[in-house]
């Protein structure tokens, strides 16, 4: 008998403070357990999400707490979609519309890897904004 998978959809929200990001990771790990994801795949998903949320806190909200960071997770056994939303400053086009080179390791960079990592780990990336704010959509195939 063919198995029919239900599409799942979870909405999470944290305050724009780094201390709260681990709560999102915990929720994502719960989803990973349900999907029986490998540690490797789950680690990649978590890194994508954390880098995206860190970017929101640091750049969209300029490190100001008291703002909403929203993460919607839609998933089925084939693919996980993460939609990270904020109501802060919009990301410059060049950061999301093209694959961003990693900083040169020999220059001993102390940051600037976030979007580059997301581009390397995600199967697709889309950034949009509307009246509700900015939305970074990233997807990862599981199969």
Partner 1 sequence: MKLSTHTQGEFTVAVIGETRMDAAVAPELKHQIAQLLDDGATRIVLDLSQVTFMDSSSLGALVSLLKMVGNRGDLIIAGAKGIVAELFKLTRMDRVFRMADSVDAAVGAVVA
Count of Cβ atoms closer than 10 Å to residue 100 Cβ: 18
Q: How far apart are CA 95 and CA 43, in angstroms?
A: 23
CB of 103 to partner 1, least distance (A): 8
Under rule CB under 8 A, residue 67 binds partner 1: no
Pairing of strands 133-141, 79-86: antiparallel
Residues 10-39, interacting with partner 1 (CB under 8 A): 18-19, 21-22, 25, 39
Among 1, 2, 3, 105, which residue sits at the site for partner 1 (rule: CB under 8 A)?
A: 105
Maximum alpha-carbon separation in the chain: 57
Find the helix packing angle between 39-55 and 114-121, rounded to 10°: 140
- Where do contacts with partner 1 occur on this chain (CB under 8 A)? 18-19, 21-22, 25, 39-40, 43-44, 46-47, 50-51, 54, 57-58, 102-103, 105-106, 108-111, 113-114, 116-117, 120-121
């Amino acid at each position: 008998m063919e198995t029919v998978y239900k599409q799942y959809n979870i909405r999470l929200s944290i305050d724009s403070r780094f201390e709260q990001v681990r709560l999102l990771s915990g929720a994502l790990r719960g989803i990973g357990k349900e999907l029986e994801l490998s540690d490797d795949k789950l680690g990649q998903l978590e890194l994508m999400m954390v880098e995206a949320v860190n970017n929101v806190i640091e750049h969209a909200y300029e490190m100001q707490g008291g703002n909403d960071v929203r993460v919607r997770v839609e998933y089925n056994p084939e693919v996980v979609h993460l939609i990270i939303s904020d109501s802060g400053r919009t990301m410059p086009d060049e950061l999301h519309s093209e694959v961003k080179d990693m900083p040169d390791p020999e220059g001993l960079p102390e940051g600037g890897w976030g979007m580059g990592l997301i581009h390397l780990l995600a199967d697709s990336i889309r950034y949009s904004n509307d009246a509700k704010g900015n939305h970074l959509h990233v997807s990862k195939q599981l199969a």
